Chains A and B, each alone.
Chain A
Amino acid sequence: MGMGGAMNDTISTNSGSSGPQTLDPRPQTPGPPLLTVTDLHKHYHIGGQDLHVLRGVDITVGQGEWVAVLGSSGSGKSTLLHLIGGLDRPERGSVTFDRRDIFKLPGAAIDRYRNRHVGFVFQSYHLLPEMTALENVLTGAMIRSSILGWPARRGEAKRRAIELLKRVGLGERMKHRPSKLSGGERQRVAIARALVNEPDVLLADEPTGNLDTETGKQIMALITELHQQGQTIVMVTHDQQIAAAADRRLWLHDGALTEGLAS
């Protein structure tokens, strides 16, 4: 997909990896680094108190890799994910994507980064209640298209959205609004929405946190399948069982990451 923008050239070569050609099981060796998080610091100031949530976080996420970040509630997992997704700004440190620190990009480029290169999945789905499942999935595509450009893009975007909804098993519920869907179905719509612009990395924040065990397993199966098809994933969770499916598990503890530390 040729679209203007600073980061596209590199991405368009990568985006092929989410295609169906990667049918082989999960890659044993991660591809070249896609994202590098270096010395990330985040403070919160509440009532004169300084809360140093992230105290120098480093991660390297390889192309096609599935990284799980584990940590107890309040350890700063969501904060980390928001920073990686360019939704928040750190006090110190960098997130390097495509050889560039996203926090040094102008505002419009960060918006574009969120729109095209990352896809968020939240614990409580966060679908837009007025829109149908299909329209929710299309949101990301509509955000990148002007009204004038839409008629030309619409067919392709819609085709992809429908394909995604079918892939997450909601082919029959495209015209339903979120209020008519179950929790698991909502999360499937949210996953389809995150994938509509073929992002380089899927950022999932406790994707099963609001679901019962059985539904959570189904969502995990879906994420596993996406990973097998080559999707790079960064997932945060407090649940070790959920994290077990990932290639790599990191522990967020006292504001820093440690590899594979079991406790």
Chain B
Amino acid sequence: MRFLLFFMYKLTLILKYLRRKLGPMFAALAVMLCTAMVIIVISVMGGFLDVLQTSAKQLTGDVIVLSRSLTGFAYYEEMIDQLEELPQVDAASPVVTALGIINLHGQTVGVKVIGIEPGGFSKIVRYEETLQWSTQDMLASYGLDGAQTSPIPPEFDLKALATRLDPMAGNHPAMVIGVEVNPWADRDSQGGYDFSYSAVQQQATLTVLPLTERGAPTELGPAYAKAVIVNEFKSGFLEVDQSQVFIRIDVLQKMLDMDRKESKVFDPESGEELPGKSVRPARVSEVLIRGADGYSLAEVHTAVQDQVDVFTSKHPNMTPPRVLTWEQLYSHIINAVKNEKGMVTFLFIIISLVAVVMVATTFYMTVLEKTRDIGVLRAVGASQAGVMSLFLGYGLAVGVVGSLLGLALAVSVVWHLNEIQYWLANHLGVSAHYTWCAAGGALIGAIVGGTIGYPKRKTLRGAAIMAMLLLLVGVIGAWISLDQVEDLAYKLNHTISFKMWDPQTYFFDRIPDKVKFYDALFIVLGAILSSVIGALIPAILAARLDPVEALRYE
């Protein structure tokens, strides 16, 4: 039991050593940087995964019934009625998707056209909140004050128009496009849009290719329609914002020849018209489903799958559609990010080992430097276990100080990541004097560090060498920067910073900037543990020093 007690001299010595020993200060610095680095990376990765998952869920609802063919499936109203009766299902809404071309401002772009029932669609998918423009914005862009012209008549209310997707004027259907679909869309370095390039209130020509039920192009050829763009949406998910346009489902069904058709029936023998009509049911590509509260995703998925199985057994001609959860639908992206997060864990292990080695080497140096003092402590009565726990405690202290400083650094960096990113984007490579500043800072830091450092010639010399090295690095950096830093910064920005961090070509428009408590706790504890493990071997060596030899040591 006795050796478990933490004896007073250890605390006193640890506190002294912490303040006066340069080596462990560097070890603490290393632990700090390692901790900060892992917390920053894991926060951004984890945040990225969260945003991705939320966005994916918000774009599809919980479960999706998906046709295996571009030609879609029929009897969807019946399916929706049955699905909505399930207790696990809150709402279901049909969607038609088709590849299309739109011509806007004379430019032609390929899009994914989504036919929706705006009311039902909004219940499942985050749609209304993603709409970019209100009528106020529009009026403001013409220099008019929205307040003066209000109330705005419903036919000019952009949000209202977009949530109804009604025809706006004449017989043209209304359309809502992703902000990035507009070929003139332009963003500043912060990701903001220039309203003057908005496509709202412009006419666009939408072309789609109708297919027969068998999948062949119809004899009628491509169908096209004029549409009026009533709003733009920004989901924050670049892939979607670049490629999707919304239009009313019935408009798209008609264009694609997927609508309900009644036709006269003729006798194949005589060619005479028979009484009654033949009906071709309308088709859709997908049914989106929102699960009811209190049911897990898996429960909703199973219930929907079972219902769809029952449904398809009643319609033997129908190819059974797929039933997927949002996670399955986006698994290709989500798993990629999950894998990257897994790599961060690997990185964490490597970095922990780096911290262990850093602490071990600096502590080994410290033990060598303190050999005589260890002998003195033994002579005054310290036990082997005492000397060992002195260095373990020292490692613990270095770990605690380093990792808490690292946590503070990481939190302040992560919370301001977007600002830092913005600042870097705007200042990095502007001129060489930042490097000169860095060099000057290094010099001053080294002089200050050397002055307040332990007044021992060896340490002073170390600090002086350090200063020279830093100065050299600074000067070389400044020299390189004179003509190359701009180029280098540009390249760095485009190779290291991932595309998703660049607001001009965002994947997500903001870098995730939250530090998760348990992530941070886990990493801090890991760093502390690494420090203690790093101190272990030097501590054992210190404990096993022969006190007589140690006292003779000079």
Contacts and interface: CB of A to CB of B under 8 A. Distances in A.
Given A142-B9, A147-B8, A87 B378 contact: yes
A225 interface: no
A127 B548 CA distance: 15
Contacts, number: 87
6 contacts: A87-B547, A131-B12, A139-B380, A142-B7, A144-B381, A149-B8
A123 to B, nearest CB: 10
Nearest to A85: B379
Contacts of A142: 7-9, 12
Contact of A145 (B8, B377, B379, B551): B8
A227 interface: no
B6 A147 contact: yes
B54 interface: no
A253 interface: no
A209 B377 CA distance: 22
B60 interface: no
Contacts of A120: 379-380
A126 B376 contact: yes
Interface of B: 2, 5-9, 11-13, 16-17, 20, 372-373, 375-384, 386, 455, 546-548, 551
Nearest to B552: A78
Interface of A: 82, 85, 87-88, 107-108, 111-112, 114-116, 120, 122, 126-131, 135, 139-140, 142-150, 179, 193, 197
Question: Which 4 A-B pairs rank lowest in CB-CB distance, beginning with the nearest?
Answer: A115-B381, A142-B9, A142-B8, A130-B16
A147 B7 contact: yes
Nearest to A148: B5
A129 B11 CA distance: 16
Nearest to B381: A115
B12 A140 contact: no
Contacts of B379: 85, 87, 114, 120, 122, 126
A32 B526 CA distance: 59
Contacts of B383: 107-108, 111
A146 B455 CA distance: 31
B381 A122 contact: no
Given A146-B5, A146-B6, A179-B455, A128 B376 contact: yes
Given A122-B551, A126-B551, A130-B16, A193 B11 contact: no
Contacts of A114: 378-381
Contact of B8 (A129, A131, A146): A146
A85 B384 CA distance: 16
A178 to B, nearest CB: 11
Residue among B11, B378, B382, B455 with max Cβ neighbours from chain A (10 Å): B382
B9 A143 contact: yes
Contacts of A144: 7, 381
Nearest to A190: B376
A149 B6 CA distance: 10
B interface: dominant SS? helix
Nearest to B2: A108
A148 B548 CA distance: 31
A40 to B, nearest CB: 15
B379 to A, nearest CB: 5
Contacts of A87: 378-379, 547-548, 551
Nearest to B11: A147
B8 A193 contact: no
B223 to A, nearest CB: 84
B386 A143 contact: yes
B380 A130 contact: no
Contacts of B373: 128-129
Contacts of A107: 383-384
Residue among A126, A130, A146 with max Cβ neighbours from chain B (10 Å): A130
Nearest to B547: A87
Contacts of B546: 88
A204 to B, nearest CB: 13
A129 B17 CA distance: 10
Nearest to B19: A130
Contacts of A131: 12-13, 16
Contacts of A149: 8
Contacts of A129: 373
Contacts of B551: 87, 122, 126
A31 B539 CA distance: 44
A145 B7 contact: yes
A139 B377 CA distance: 8
A135 B382 contact: no
B309 to A, nearest CB: 69
A114 B382 CA distance: 9
A140 B548 contact: no
Given A107-B384, A131-B13, 12 more contacts: A111-B381, A128-B13, A128-B373, A130-B13, A139-B9, A139-B380, A143-B8, A143-B9, A143-B381, A144-B381, A146-B5, A148-B5
Given A126-B551, A128-B373, A140 B380 contact: yes
Nearest to A122: B551
Contacts of B381: 111-112, 114-116, 140, 143-144, 197
Contacts of B547: 87-88
A129 B8 CA distance: 18
Contact of B380 (A148, A150, A193): A193
Residue among B5, B376, B381 with max Cβ neighbours from chain A (10 Å): B381
Contacts of B380: 114-115, 120, 139-140, 143, 193
Given A128-B376, A142-B7, A88 B12 contact: no
Contacts of B16: 130-131
A174 to B, nearest CB: 15
B16 to A, nearest CB: 4
A115 B547 CA distance: 14
A154 to B, nearest CB: 8
Nearest to B376: A126
Contacts of B17: 130
A217 B46 CA distance: 73
A126 B379 CA distance: 10
Given A107-B384, A128-B373, A88 B548 contact: yes
A130 B20 contact: yes
A115 to B, nearest CB: 2
